[in-house]
Amino acid sequence: MPVMKTKQPVEVIVIGGGAAGLSGALTLARARRSVLVIDAGEPRNAPASGVHGFLSRDGMLPRDLVARGQEEVARYGGSVVAGRVVSAAHADCRFEVTTEAGERYSARRLLVATGLTDELPEVPGLAERWGRDVLHCPYCHGWEIRDQPLGVLGTGPMSVHQALLFRQWTSRITLFPADRVEVTDYQREQLTARGIDVVEGAVAAVEVDEDRLTGIRLASGRLVEVTAVALSPRMRAGNVLLSLGLEPVEHPMGVGEHIEADATGRTAVPGVWVAGNATDLAAQVVGAAAAGNVSAAAINADLVAEDTSIAVAALRRAQEVRGQAESQRL
C-alpha cells in the first residue's frame, strides 16, 4: 500500500458520510470550522427504495439524501472525499487518519459516523432480498407491507417482540423460531392472543419467484407462503478506531456491538466523538442526523474552549514579555 504525505490539515475529520456524518459536517462547516468527510459510500439503507419516517424527506431515495447532504456541506466550504479509513493515530495534539488507499489526513478532532453492519443469519436467498422484502424495522417498512402475510424469522432475544410489534401493521404473521429462539409459555400465550402462528423447525431457504419473495421453506420440505420476512440482524459497529483504543462493546440489549458515548457522542478517547448507528444501534435516519448535529455542536464548543485556552496562554506570555521588558527598562 503506497503511503502518501499528509494532506492539508483541517479542524475536524468526519469518518463516514451518511446521515449522521453529513449532518455533523454541515453544522461544523456552518460554524466556520474546516471539515473533511471521508466516506466509503455504503450507507446502511442503500438497498431500500426510500427513506421513510424522515419528516419532509419521506420516500426519498437513500442516495439522493446523501447527494443532497454532500451539496449542503460543500455550500459552506466543507469537503467530502471518497475513501475508507483504516486507522488513526494521535500525536502532537492532532489526529492523523489513514485510508485504505494510503492517503493521510490530519485534524484536531474526529467525528466517527461509520454506521453499522447488519449480520444476517445464513439462510439461502435471504441476503439477496435484504432491504427489499427481507426487513428489520417496522417504522421503515411496516407501512409498505401492511396487511401482507409476513414471516418473522427467529434470530435471538428480540424476535418474539418483533413479531408482536409487526402485528400493528399486519394480522397475517407467522413466527419461525428456527431452532434459534426459545419461546416461553407466556410468550406463546401472547402470540396466540394476537393471532400469530408459530411454526417450529429449521428453515432451509427463502423462496423467490420472478423477483418476489414467495415463502419460507422449512428443512422438512414444507413451504409457508409469505410475501415478506422480518428479522432482527446482529448489528455491529465497525472498529475503525481500534488503533486509538476505541473498541465496540456489547450492547446492553444483546442485539450487537456499539461504541459507547455520552449524550453528545463524546467517547472515552479525548477528542473523538461518535454519532448515528455506530453508537445508537436503533437510530433511524432522522435520529442519526440529529445526533450528528448534537456531536458537531459539542465538538465546536470543545474547540472554542481550546482556542480560548491557547489565546489566554498567548496573552499571558505577551504580558509576561512586556512586563520583563518594562522591568529591564526601569
DSSP 60: B
Among 107, 111, 140, 178, interactor with ligand FAD by CB under 6 A: 140
For ligand FAD, the binding residues in 16-55 under the rule CB under 6 A are: 16-21, 38-45, 47-48, 51-54
> Is residue 240 within the footprint of ligand FAD (CB under 6 A)?
yes
- Write phi, then psi, for 215 (nearest 5 degrees): 175, 175
Q: Which is nearer to ligand FAD, 21 or 177 (CB)?
A: 21
Shortest distance, CB of residue 234 to ligand FAD, whole angstroms? 13
Q: With both helix axes pointing from N to C terminus, report the angle between 62-75 and 19-30 in degrees, rounded to the nearest 10.
A: 20
- State whether residue 240 is helix, strand or coil: coil
User: Which of 85, 226, 261, 272 lies at the binding interface for ligand FAD (CB under 6 A)?
Assistant: 85
Residues 91 to 120: which contact ligand FAD by CB under 6 A? 113-115, 118
Least separation in angstroms between residue 116's CB and ligand FAD is 7
Q: Between 25 and 173, name the residue whose CB sits nearer to ligand FAD.
A: 25
For residues 268 and 281, give the distance between their C-alpha atoms in angstroms, rounded to a whole number: 18
Residues 246-285, interacting with ligand FAD (CB under 6 A): 276-277, 283-285
Q: How far is the CB of 265 from ligand FAD (least distance, A)?
A: 11
The continuous run of DSSP H or E covering 11 comes out as strand 10-15
Q: Does 131 bind ligand FAD (CB under 6 A)?
A: yes
Strands 94-99 and 256-258: unpaired
Which residue number, 198 or 240, has a Cβ lying nearer to ligand FAD?
A: 240
Helix or strand (DSSP H, E) at 186 = helix 185-193
- CB count in 10 Å sphere of residue 175: 27
Whose CA is closest to 83, among 68, 101, 96, 66? 101
Contacts (Cβ under 8 Å, ≥6 apart) of 49: 61, 132
Q: Can you state the angle between helices 285-329 and 19-30, rounded to 10 degrees?
A: 30
Complex with ligand FAD: residue 16 or 256, whichever CB lies closer: 16
Enumerate binding residues for ligand FAD (CB under 6 A).
Answer: 15-21, 38-45, 47-48, 51-54, 84-85, 113-115, 118, 131, 137, 140, 238, 240, 276-277, 283-286, 288
